[in-house]
Each structure stands twice: as structure tokens, then as C-alpha cells.
Amino acid sequence: MQQGDSYQAMLDAVQAFHDKHDFRNTGGEEMSYRIALMAEELGEISSCVTKGKDQDKLAEEVADLFILLIGTAIAADFDLRDAFWNKMNKLMQRKSRMVNGRIRVSEFRDM
């Protein structure tokens, strides 16, 4: 498989994976199913952290989640790159606060 550092190369690789297994016609692109898969991957990431697994295992699980996120953009037909930069621009405008001893960046709607 071709490897590259560009988002387009990653998008093409995930699209090829979807095409190979005919995700569009076999339920692999159904949103509720994809959410369940992402929740499963978050659980595996959590397990890596809480059980002290090595960095390679953590990287593999995070890559699984990233592949699912790209695949969700394919399935839902939106441009993840545009969504990323639009959200990043919003986040850069937000303020941060310390909450329970940890930094938090949010809109902080005061009551």
C-alpha cells in the first residue's frame, strides 16, 4: 500500500479499505455502527493508558480511531480536512482556565 504524509494519501488509503470490503453496501458506513466502533477504540486506548501498555500499542489503538474518523467523514460525505481547520480556527480563539488542576479550553458560558 502506498504510504504518504499527506491527508489525501490517508484519505485514499481509507477509501480503498472501504471499497475493498464494500462498506457502503454492507453496513460498514452506517453511523450508529461507526459510533459503536469508535467507542470500542476509545476503550482500547483507555486500557492502554490505565494498564501501562507500551507506546507502540497506544499508537496502534490511536491509529485505529483515526482511521475510523477518516472513514466516518467518507461515510457521511464531508471534508474532514475543512472541518478540522474550521474547528481549529475556533479553538484558537477560545480562552483557557484551570479546572480541577488541569487546563481546559472551552467557550465557558458563565452563569
CATH architecture of 7-80: Orthogonal Bundle (1.10)
Provide the CA 61 distance to its chain's centre, in angstroms: 11
The rounded distance, in Å, linking the Cα atoms of 53 and 60 is: 11
pLDDT at 9 over 60: yes
Looking at the predicted structure, is the pLDDT value of residue 111 above 50? no
Question: What's the pLDDT score for residue 108?
Answer: 87
CB 65 within 8 A of CB 55: no
Quick: pLDDT tens for 11-37: 999 999 999 999 999 999 999 999 999
Helix H or strand E segment including 87: helix 80-93
pLDDT for 109 equals: 83
- Residue 103 burial (10 A CB sphere; 0-12, 13-18, 19+): exposed
pLDDT score for 88:
96
Mean pLDDT across the chain: 94
DSSP one-letter code for 101: T
Q: Which amino acid is at 109?
A: R
Question: In the chain, how long is the greatest CA-to-CA distance?
Answer: 53
Please tell me the predicted confidence (pLDDT) of residue 1: 58
Span 26-79, pLDDT tens digits: 999 999 999 999 999 999 999 999 999 999 999 999 999 999 999 999 999 999
